[in-house]
Structure 1
């Protein structure tokens, strides 16, 4: 998948969240989880979770620390983001997101 298509996919996930939140009773907790799962539940799923977390860090002006966040994810589920190419892809997505946001 291309970086641009991936960013569109992340935007679609956000759209689902916004729609779900609009359907909820406001007295309840917002931001219910979105379930994503690939065949093993670690490689591509890990890329989705990690890229979404890192984009959220950028959007909320928080520290963007991919290795630290990946280590935390792997404490919860081993092997998240299985390959070097998946790991590089996370950085490519972040770079493109920053360019699209005109932050770099």
Structure 2
């Protein structure tokens, strides 16, 4: 399960950011609320760095009431294109896996 999740976590985070801008802890909390309890905060932050480097998100530093400014991530046009490709790939794989599963019965 963990290895499968690692392969899809980037798409999941981009999907979250397609709904609204968020900072790392918010994303981690949302994932945990959705049942992804084993995801470490450090994993999400490392992923955010990668998607920022790949140019999929815009980043704004927003003052925080406690501590340094927060980096708030929002999906940009390039990120939306990548997310669309992720969903196409996901649909393809999902369809094929369903066919395989039905073939076993």
Bigger RCO of structures 1 and 2 (CA < 8 A, at least 6 apart)? 1
TM-score range normalised by the length of the shorter chain: 0.3 to 0.5
Which has the larger Rg?
2
Taking structure 1 as the reference length, the TM-score comes to 0.36
Q: Give the alignment's TM-score, normalised by structure 2.
A: 0.36
